[in-house]
Amino acid sequence: MVLQTVFRAVITGAPGSGKGTMSSRIVRSFGLKHLSSGDMLRAIIEAKTDLGVLMKSCIDQGQLVPDDVISRLVLSSLRGLEQSSWLLDGFPRTVAQAEALDSVYDVDSVINLDVPFQTIRERLTSRWVHLPSGRVYNIDFNPPKRPGLDDVTGEPLVQRDDDRPETVSRRLKGYERQTQPVLEYYRSKGVLETFSGTETNKIWPHVHAFLTRKIPGNQQAVGKA
Ligand SMILES: Nc1nc2c(ncn2[C@@H]2O[C@H](COP(=O)(O)OP(=O)(O)O)[C@@H](O)[C@H]2O)c(=O)[nH]1
Ligand SMILES: Nc1ncnc2c1ncn2[C@@H]1O[C@H](COP(=O)(O)OP(=O)(O)O)[C@@H](O)[C@H]1O
């Protein structure tokens, strides 16, 4: 018998549902490697390449970037992590992306954060990010220790161009049209686990309990919920 030692998970949900926030808790407690497609794209944009300029125009308009571009990017990053347990955040966002991932790896669990759109709209107007690390703050929920500055580096925080209210509305519509079908895709494979609520602090203990059961041997669980 071959014992499975790695655990491959996806975290999904509408923009602003708390994927990044939840991912940092999961990484802290279970030691999975975290890959965020949004962080990867923002790093490419920062590098100001031609590809970055193209990606920025998609993102600023509240649209998804092309499937082939993001799939190539994410799958090539995963290639370096063959022996590691990982958590993919923000990918796949379309059925075509899910199929591309599926052709290379079996996903063990998909954690779906189900948060009402009204809650999301309120949150995103007060989201601040540290672009180089992807650390995320919120004026009301988890403010930085010093206003406007990243806790770890002291560097300035920024608001994302795509968090403007009209762009958020477009992203939420795009989510319903393009990403919700991915939930059905994973439900039919029996790996979808949905967590509903309006507060990350209340959802987290349920996610923690679920992963404690799911992660093989669970030697990785180093923290408490
Ligand atoms: N008020 C409030 N804000 C939250 C909560 N959970 C996350 N946030 C904030 O909501 C925003 C979106 O969360 P994020 O993790 O970036 O979501 P993602 O877009 O799905 O990755 C960020 O500013 C978070 O700090 C919560 O329970 N309550
Ligand atoms: N898997 C993906 N497919 C296509 N576009 C993506 C993908 N991941 C991220 N993007 C682009 O980057 C933007 C920001 O992504 P992300 O940081 O994950 O947003 P959020 O945290 O608000 O859900 C998305 O609105 C989209 O334009």
pLDDT for 219 equals 46
pLDDT of amino acid 218: 65
The rounded Å distance from CA 203 to ligand 2 centre is: 22
Q: Average pLDDT per run of 10 along the chain, which is 225 residues long? A: 78 97 97 96 92 94 96 95 94 98 97 97 94 92 96 96 93 97 98 98 98 78 50
**Architecture field, domain 15-208:** 3-Layer(aba) Sandwich (3.40)
Instruction: Please provide the DSSP assignment of 88-148 as one string.
Output: EES---SHHHHHHHHTT---SEEEEEE--HHHHHHHHTTEEEETTTTEEEETTTB--SSTT
On whether ipTM exceeds 0.90, the answer is: yes
The pTM for the full model equals 0.93
Q: Which of 42, 46, 59, 182 to mutate to test the pocket of ligand 2 (most atoms within 8 A of CB)?
A: 59
8 A C-beta contact, residue 159 and residue 144:
no
For residue 1, what pLDDT is reported? 46
DSSP 8-state code for residue 149: B
Active-site residue among 19, 48, 135, 224? Answer: 19
Q: Given this model, what pLDDT does residue 82 score?
A: 86
DSSP-derived pairing of the beta strands 109-114 and 192-196: parallel
pLDDT of residue 4: 63
Predicted pLDDT of residue 3: 53
pLDDT at 225: 57
How remote is the CA of residue 124 from the centroid of ligand 2, in Å? 14
